[in-house]
Chain A
């Protein structure tokens, strides 16, 4: 069967489905259909495997969705004779329509996510020359040292691997800042980083002026490199040893390939994961994107550059004059431009870097605002629908990635729409109870099942709604500002590596309290009116339940902005490595449990307990290296604490001040075993079923507001105390202490670093 025939067959069956689904059948028929579909979905879920089963599942589910939308448009709009209700009803239906469009596009994009097999190892002499870019602006030196060491440790012929540290924090412009303190700090930074690079075998590069932010920085570097392939790592994204072996081969396979992107994996929780304590059990928010969507896009040659953990062909970049920098999301824009010139992209769904992500709610929102605004900039300044050279499906893919960021608006509409009925009796939705069951309820069930089927492995139920709401409160404003003036937003570097010493409320918390209060009072009003006000009917019940659901989201969001203290400054990665610990004159074999940038934990053993370690005792750890770089370097350790006894005991050690070449040991320890990261992700990629997920969500909705309010009360109490006695500055003290210790090598005053941190926050 030819491609045309297949397309026609698909078109005809789609048309038949549409014709059938737009039949205005009775509510009874609808209920029978929906109920059958739900049973069918469960059946496929349990017994169905393979592509056809998947398509059958999607087709059945979309039938119910289409029926719902058809019904919404044809039967549920308030009459135009009531302009207010009609207007609000229309807004609501358009918001739902948006969600449906996004859903249908995502169904197309995720029709058959690509699974790529592992590349075969190539001969060293066939490998291209690779230039690794590590752009930095204000990251700490120890972070950079780790990243550079990890980059240098990648399994690749050393003569073909150049690592470039692109420092935008030490540009001429920064070094000559009007503020002399800042200028001094910049100069210090340049000197110490130059020294670091020299010791680690990397190339330090800076430039005159900070133009076009990250894109400008990298374009500057492009002028200095000669290699075939450019690899970009964010300063806090350290690659695993196998990174290049798993990726670079795609450039040889297809000369038109301009990009090989790999997923971003974070070792630390985002603020929501941290505050709801889900990091170790729930898949991260971005896993849906990297685990499903990028693979789906890859099927259509539409996966795009995400700014880091990616390889690009230099010759391709040169055709567009380097990285694009019109918008503040240079990554997507670059891929967009190259796609439109006929270059291809590849996505490798294997976690090969480990990075850090924003830890505070404020910086999280800052990062998301940048993404959101940047995507809108591309949409408005370089409309994918009109861009020449893109394939149709690529247009759809880019449009979906960009319009996705419109979500704050419908989310806010869904949050507030019920209030119009509860408070003002506006009928926003004309339906009787039977119809509400046959259409709305079954639609919601099918929708949840569909989400869970597509993304259940990487996303718990209702978590999307929570993230949308949490961001939506602020992003709605960001959208308005970018739509008003698309060229205005500027690149703000996302602050990472911040630590939190105490439980407190985020400074952005107040809108969440306000909304929660509003919804809570609406809930009370709805309950009162339904129970006691004569004539208030089932519509109030439905709307009240809807409001209750919103309250659950808003309650969980309160938890998300009630920041918990972060006991672990450095995120740990579980490893299974062995080495030799030297304490005093004793050498014992040890097994390592986990490692972080700050220290390592060892499994207990009889030899270890025989050492009878005391806090503060020092030693050195020699590892059994996996890579070739580490020869006889060892890691300096300081014993911190022991938990448990005997074989189940865990011994925690901090790294003492490290020499630059000792970072190679750390890099080998952390990043040499490429299976460490996937197995870490696998521990939390467990399917959460709808019921358990909903129960968990409801629990958050109930318990988290209590915690948030307790923080609020605590803050009020502290405010009074502070007013009485001026509190000493509390900013990241322990971090500063560590920095000061490291400063021996870097010779950078701690005060400067503290100032930098404040600046970026």
Chain B
């Protein structure tokens, strides 16, 4: 214990020393990789400072926490007994193959260079140059017991498995060498206290084969489970790793209670356990890079030689390529010197002459042509990618080759998962099966089934109710469901359509069409959830034993299809959601988009590169940004302005649709760099652990800076434990869990409600409520029928009335209340159109200073935050990880596709659907016209009226 403390203090010092170099990493998540990474047992504490992973058994919070996440036991012993699934069980224990051929640990080339006149390329097997293959690496590879944890990438599905059933899938790449090794999978997780361990399971599937299952027990503290993966289950290349949580409530069988159930995967404790001797040494193996403990991929861009715009552009492009090829959903780019650490990558782009001053390229021979080199990680250096050539032109050429050289390989399921990253791109008129979206067939015995997937619609998709996407449901339901049983399909957190499950005798269907109004979708990323609410009358009794051996109630088959009808293709701007999840207008055809950095310092460039990489991910391809310092001409291409507000010209803010005075008022105190607020105050060890736990409980985007709550993190947790839920908690919880995906103008929040909801008194009041409820409600079938009808009529009518009122409201009022830019704002994203074409879209990302920018952008690009950006302006509060949006007042249409008859018709239909009063006005005018022409026509044909 004392040693731990010692290590911690060492670490703090280390952190301080690194502070300058790792500006972007000063934030918690991507911060010192050593903080939470798993280290080999017995490795020198100085080279790899042992982490907080040896928790002190003091705080009740962590009482049952595992001893250091798996770290290096002599034998890989699962800390929880796994329950191997029969078919997969036998091969697991087979001995790993002898490492006869040590994996390559040297340069790797984009391609052989037969024409290279210079000395033959360094053979793959060659000993690494001493600079790179430091002895420490050799030492760390050597021990047979050395295991390393390769974290999962943070993705849009997130680390939270909520409800009675939830799953999350990752495309995970392993190299050919790794595929031959015994690999384990470790899951660190924390669950809600209401989860009943006996009836709740965490299941790991690899390439759609169930590999292991374990009871969910971590209701008090983070626990880890280690699964052995059968030897041939993983293939070289992409593999699908899916975690499924099936959870049941301890005491409450109501539908509402299912919203209390969650399991949070602790990304710092979760990932593949690989033998250490497997550094990434080939360019094609880039996807095998390890993200950091929070799932972000730190990319340290190193600018060799003089910084010039062309080189920075190339860096941005290279960062995009790495993110795209590796399926990293949360790349975070910063600029600085070569960095160390196990996670992330160094990126060096430049002519050989410049690069040589940073990296010893002698081993690679003379650089006379375009080259992309990879230097495997060592304790002093992250995996480093060098994109170079003899001249600037060759460097660009090397980049192009880098791009072209990447063809994904892997298991079919893995390729499917990789293709669905971060969501499957679908176009109008397409049918997609759920299995291609990563949803597996599932038999379900709980009350609230949920399956979710992400699709990316074209950014110029014009959303309105001119058509319906059809969910052709395949599956079935059991007899005996109550009348409330129904299916809800929600898109981006909003109920889009529901369908009753009408037959008392149950039903099985292969194509049960559920029409989903197109207006529920939006351009760019959409998260679609299919929920089946399947309560039975027996649930009111709520026998926990029944939950354990629950009969199957619902079946969803992965042959369920989604059919998207033909969609109107025209873009609407401004709309930040389309920009962030559809990369529009940057990825659109046309002139090169421009990144304008009025003050191109390191922080700004890093932030810009990070945002550019995210745009590329959403576009599914790299975007050729042009970097300029000066303001471009109007109409010379879409523009992304990145810069600290203190250096931005007020006219720029105005051009982006922001009131410069409001910005000035909110941020003027922070404009002075020297007066920057202290970042995180130093946390005590316990506090940092407590904070970690809070982050998990709240599914907090960890790159955002959670402020110290009054009384500290520890107290926050303890008070949460002590708090007792009342009956309404479930309702609150429901609304909150629903709010996560809600779009513009709803102040978003993570799970802020108390977590350890023990229903001590709640049970009694609940029973009382039930008693009353049954007395009042179900006197007889007829009155309940009357009530039901009345309620549904009232609901329907009030919805209509609301619609009319809101219509009038929208017409009469000047518009929704503008969100205020206040001092809590960490960062503002804004968008405006200064003209009519796609080249007139201006997007602005700003924070008080460039340092603030570098601090807040990593928070912004967490998928959980990124997806909330919408409207005309989005204001990030990094301390909450929340975004407030200002809806666009007037959007303009931008033609992106040829206006064929069909497209024009759909666009018109969409526009008329959104402007129904105009539709009606046009109809009246045409009717009048028709009446006049008919009268004229009729009066003069046939027999005339005398």
Query: A residues bordering B, Cβ < 8 Å?
Result: 1, 3, 6-7, 9-10, 12-14, 16-17, 19-21, 23-29, 32-33, 36-37, 40, 51-53, 55-56, 58-60, 63, 75, 79, 81, 111-112, 114-117, 298-301, 393, 430, 432-434, 530-538
Contact = CB atoms under 8 A, between A and B. Distances in A.
B466 A23 contact: yes
Contacts of B917: 32
B940 A40 contact: no
B310 interface: no
Contacts of B728: none
Given A51-B939, A535-B501, A28 B785 contact: no
Contact of B935 (A55, A79, A532, A537): A55
Contact of A55 (B513, B781, B938): B938
Nearest to A431: B515
A23 B909 contact: yes
A59 B943 CA distance: 22
B927 interface: yes
A556 B942 CA distance: 40
A340 to B, nearest CB: 18
Interface string B904-927: 011011001110110110111011
Given A32-B916, A56-B931, A300-B942, A26 B501 contact: no
Given A24-B466, A28-B803, A75-B468, A111 B938 contact: yes
A533 B500 CA distance: 13
Given A33-B916, A534-B481, A536-B502, 8 more contacts: A25-B916, A32-B919, A52-B932, A81-B510, A114-B945, A115-B945, A432-B515, A534-B482
Interface in B513-556: 513, 515, 517, 519
B466 A79 contact: no
Given A23-B466, A433-B796, A3 B483 contact: no
Contacts of A301: 942-943
A51 B912 CA distance: 30
A298 B468 contact: no
Which label, helix, strand, loop or mixed, suits the secondary structure of the B interface? helix
Contact of B913 (A7, A25, A59, A531): A25
Which label, helix, strand, loop or mixed, suits the secondary structure of the A interface? helix
B467 interface: yes
A20 B466 contact: no
B936 interface: yes
B488 to A, nearest CB: 13
The 8 A-B pairs with the shortest beta carbon distances in the complex, nearest first, are A26-B465, A535-B502, A26-B913, A29-B916, A55-B931, A56-B931, A534-B483, A10-B937
Given A10-B937, A115-B946, A56 B927 contact: yes
A24 B464 CA distance: 10
B924 A9 contact: no
Interface of B: 464-468, 481-483, 485, 497, 500-504, 510-511, 513, 515, 517, 519, 781-782, 785, 792, 796, 803, 905-906, 908-909, 912-914, 916-917, 919-920, 922-924, 926-943, 945-946
Of listed A12, A24, A59, A537, residue having the most chain B CB within 10 A: A24
A55 B937 CA distance: 11
A535 B933 contact: no
Contact of B483 (A12, A16, A535): A535
B929 A13 contact: yes
Contacts of A53: 931
Nearest to B513: A79
A116 B792 CA distance: 56
Contacts of B934: 10, 13, 55, 58-59, 111
A26 B933 contact: no
A538 B792 CA distance: 10
Contacts of B781: 531-532
B475 to A, nearest CB: 15
A6 B511 contact: no
Given A60-B927, A79-B511, A535-B500, A3 B940 contact: yes
A1 B929 CA distance: 16
A115 B944 CA distance: 9
Nearest to A23: B909
Contact of A59 (B502, B517, B931, B945): B931
Nearest to B905: A23
Contacts of B803: 28
A393 B942 contact: yes
Nearest to A56: B931
Contacts of B924: 36, 40, 60
B919 A52 contact: no
B929 A299 contact: no
A531 B785 contact: yes
Contacts of A26: 464-466, 517, 519, 913-914, 916
Contacts of A434: 796
B534 to A, nearest CB: 11
Nearest to A299: B942
A77 to B, nearest CB: 11
B98 to A, nearest CB: 56
27 contacts: A10-B930, A16-B926, A16-B929, A17-B926, A21-B923, A24-B906, A24-B909, A25-B465, A25-B916, A26-B466, A26-B519, A29-B916, A32-B920, A33-B923, A36-B920, A55-B932, A58-B934, A59-B927, A59-B930, A300-B943, A301-B943, A430-B513, A430-B515, A434-B796, A532-B785, A534-B504, A535-B502
Nearest to A22: B905
B777 to A, nearest CB: 16
A721 B726 CA distance: 78
A264 B926 CA distance: 40
Contacts of B503: 535
Contacts of A33: 916, 919-920, 923
A59 B467 CA distance: 26
Contacts of B912: 23, 25, 29
B511 A81 contact: yes
A301 B927 CA distance: 28
Contacts of A3: 940-941
A26 B785 CA distance: 31
Contacts of B922: 20
Contacts of A535: 481, 483, 485, 500-504
Of listed A6, A23, A32, A299, residue having the most chain B CB within 10 A: A23
Contacts of A75: 468, 515
Of listed A7, A20, A40, residue having the most chain B CB within 10 A: A20
Contacts of B785: 530-532
Nearest to A437: B796
Nearest to A64: B923
A12 B930 CA distance: 9
A23 B935 contact: no
A37 B919 CA distance: 12
Contacts of B932: 13, 52, 55
B946 A117 contact: yes
A761 to B, nearest CB: 43
Contacts of B517: 26
Contacts of B482: 534
Contacts of A21: 923
B465 A6 contact: no
Contacts of B938: 51, 55, 111-112
A17 B941 CA distance: 21
A27 B467 CA distance: 10
Contacts of A111: 934, 938
Contacts of B468: 75
B922 to A, nearest CB: 6
B662 to A, nearest CB: 35
A394 B388 CA distance: 84
Nearest to B781: A532
Contacts of B905: 19, 23
A117 to B, nearest CB: 5
B937 A6 contact: yes
A112 B944 CA distance: 9
Contact of A9 (B927, B928, B937, B942): B937
A568 B166 CA distance: 82
